[in-house]
Protein backbone atom coordinates (compact mmCIF):
# COMPACT_ATOMS: atom_id res chain seq x y z
CA UNK A 1 0.00 0.00 0.00
CA UNK A 2 1.28 3.43 -0.87
CA UNK A 3 0.78 6.56 1.22
CA UNK A 4 -0.39 8.93 -0.16
CA UNK A 5 -1.56 8.38 -3.74
CA UNK A 6 0.28 10.75 -6.02
CA UNK A 7 -1.45 12.90 -8.61
CA UNK A 8 -0.24 15.64 -10.94
CA UNK A 9 0.17 19.26 -9.96
CA UNK A 10 -2.23 20.48 -12.64
CA UNK A 11 -4.50 22.20 -10.14
CA UNK A 12 -1.82 24.51 -8.74
CA UNK A 13 -0.31 25.19 -12.16
CA UNK A 14 -3.72 26.01 -13.63
CA UNK A 15 -4.46 28.45 -10.81
CA UNK A 16 -1.19 30.31 -11.35
CA UNK A 17 -1.63 30.38 -15.13
CA UNK A 18 -5.20 31.59 -14.80
CA UNK A 19 -4.22 34.40 -12.46
CA UNK A 20 -1.44 35.51 -14.78
CA UNK A 21 -3.58 35.41 -17.93
CA UNK A 22 -6.39 37.50 -16.50
CA UNK A 23 -4.09 40.01 -14.86
CA UNK A 24 -4.56 38.75 -11.33
CA UNK A 25 -1.92 38.30 -8.74
CA UNK A 26 -0.49 35.20 -7.19
CA UNK A 27 0.44 35.51 -3.55
CA UNK A 28 2.06 32.98 -1.28
CA UNK A 29 0.41 32.06 1.96
CA UNK A 30 2.51 32.75 5.07
CA UNK A 31 3.10 29.02 5.48
CA UNK A 32 4.21 28.57 1.88
CA UNK A 33 6.60 31.49 2.22
CA UNK A 34 8.34 29.69 5.10
CA UNK A 35 9.17 26.66 2.96
CA UNK A 36 12.54 26.63 1.25
CA UNK A 37 13.88 24.24 -1.34
CA UNK A 38 16.66 21.69 -1.52
CA UNK A 39 18.17 19.95 -4.51
CA UNK A 40 17.65 16.21 -4.57
CA UNK A 41 21.43 15.82 -4.88
CA UNK A 42 21.98 17.74 -1.63
CA UNK A 43 19.92 15.41 0.56
CA UNK A 44 21.66 13.10 3.02
CA UNK A 45 22.07 9.57 1.68
CA UNK A 46 19.53 8.21 4.17
CA UNK A 47 16.85 10.45 2.60
CA UNK A 48 17.31 8.59 -0.71
CA UNK A 49 16.60 5.33 1.15
CA UNK A 50 13.43 6.82 2.64
CA UNK A 51 12.22 8.14 -0.73
CA UNK A 52 12.81 4.71 -2.27
CA UNK A 53 10.81 3.03 0.52
CA UNK A 54 7.97 5.51 -0.08
CA UNK A 55 7.97 4.63 -3.79
CA UNK A 56 7.91 0.91 -2.94
CA UNK A 57 5.19 1.32 -0.30
CA UNK A 58 7.41 0.06 2.53
CA UNK A 59 8.20 -1.78 4.67
CA UNK A 60 9.21 1.11 6.88
CA UNK A 61 11.63 1.00 9.82
CA UNK A 62 9.24 2.68 12.29
CA UNK A 63 5.56 2.14 12.98
CA UNK A 64 4.95 5.91 12.74
CA UNK A 65 6.13 5.98 9.12
CA UNK A 66 3.30 6.60 6.68
CA UNK A 67 1.04 8.15 9.30
CA UNK A 68 -0.82 11.39 8.75
CA UNK A 69 1.26 14.50 9.40
CA UNK A 70 -1.00 17.10 11.02
CA UNK A 71 1.06 20.21 10.12
CA UNK A 72 0.33 21.60 13.60
CA UNK A 73 3.30 23.93 13.25
CA UNK A 74 1.64 25.48 10.19
CA UNK A 75 4.91 25.66 8.27
CA UNK A 76 3.66 23.73 5.23
CA UNK A 77 0.88 25.11 3.05
CA UNK A 78 -2.52 24.59 4.68
CA UNK A 79 -4.35 21.49 3.48
CA UNK A 80 -7.13 19.21 4.70
CA UNK A 81 -6.29 16.62 7.33
CA UNK A 82 -4.82 13.51 5.73
CA UNK A 83 -3.11 15.41 2.91
CA UNK A 84 0.40 15.03 4.36
CA UNK A 85 2.17 11.86 5.55
CA UNK A 86 5.49 11.58 7.36
CA UNK A 87 8.41 9.19 7.10
CA UNK A 88 11.60 8.85 9.13
CA UNK A 89 14.98 9.63 7.61
CA UNK A 90 17.33 7.51 9.70
CA UNK A 91 20.02 9.44 11.57
CA UNK A 92 23.19 7.35 11.92
CA UNK A 93 24.23 6.91 15.54
CA UNK A 94 20.86 7.97 16.95
CA UNK A 95 19.11 5.58 19.31
CA UNK A 96 15.75 7.21 18.47
CA UNK A 97 13.99 8.24 15.27
CA UNK A 98 15.98 11.44 15.34
CA UNK A 99 14.77 14.75 13.91
CA UNK A 100 14.96 14.11 10.16
CA UNK A 101 11.79 13.43 8.16
CA UNK A 102 10.34 13.36 4.68
CA UNK A 103 6.78 14.69 4.58
CA UNK A 104 4.83 13.95 1.43
CA UNK A 105 1.81 15.72 0.02
CA UNK A 106 -0.79 14.16 -2.24
CA UNK A 107 0.58 15.85 -5.35
CA UNK A 108 3.22 14.10 -7.45
CA UNK A 109 6.71 14.73 -6.06
CA UNK A 110 5.47 17.08 -3.38
CA UNK A 111 8.07 15.86 -0.95
CA UNK A 112 9.45 17.99 1.86
CA UNK A 113 12.60 17.39 3.89
CA UNK A 114 13.16 18.58 7.45
CA UNK A 115 16.33 18.03 9.43
CA UNK A 116 15.06 19.77 12.57
CA UNK A 117 11.82 18.02 13.51
CA UNK A 118 9.33 20.23 11.65
CA UNK A 119 10.82 23.63 12.49
CA UNK A 120 11.65 24.28 8.83
CA UNK A 121 10.94 22.40 5.60
CA UNK A 122 12.52 22.34 2.17
CA UNK A 123 10.59 21.20 -0.89
CA UNK A 124 12.75 18.63 -2.67
CA UNK A 125 13.66 19.75 -6.19
CA UNK A 126 14.07 16.57 -8.21
CA UNK A 127 15.38 18.55 -11.20
CA UNK A 128 18.75 19.45 -9.74
Q: Summarize pLDDT for 40-58 with one digit per residue, the tens.
A: 999 999 999 999 999 999 9
Please compute the mean of the pLDDT values over residues 1-17 and round it to a whole number.
38
CATH code of the region 10-125? 3.10.450.30
The pLDDT tens digits of the residues spanning 58-97 come to: 999 999 999 999 999 899 999 999 999 999 999 999 999 9
Q: What predicted TM-score, i.e. pTM, was given to this entire model?
A: 0.74
Catalytic residues: 86, 117
* Beta carbons of 103 and 2 less than 8 angstroms apart: no
Which residues on neighbouring strands pair with residue 101, listed in sequence order? 88, 114
Domain segments of the chain as ranges:
10-125
Cα–Cα distances in angstroms (integers) from residue 101 to residues 1, 35, 59, 104, in the given order: 20, 14, 16, 10
Amino acid sequence: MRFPPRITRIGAAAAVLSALLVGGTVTATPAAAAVGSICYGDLPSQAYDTLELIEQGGPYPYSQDGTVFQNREGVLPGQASGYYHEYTVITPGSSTRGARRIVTGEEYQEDYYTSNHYTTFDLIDFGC
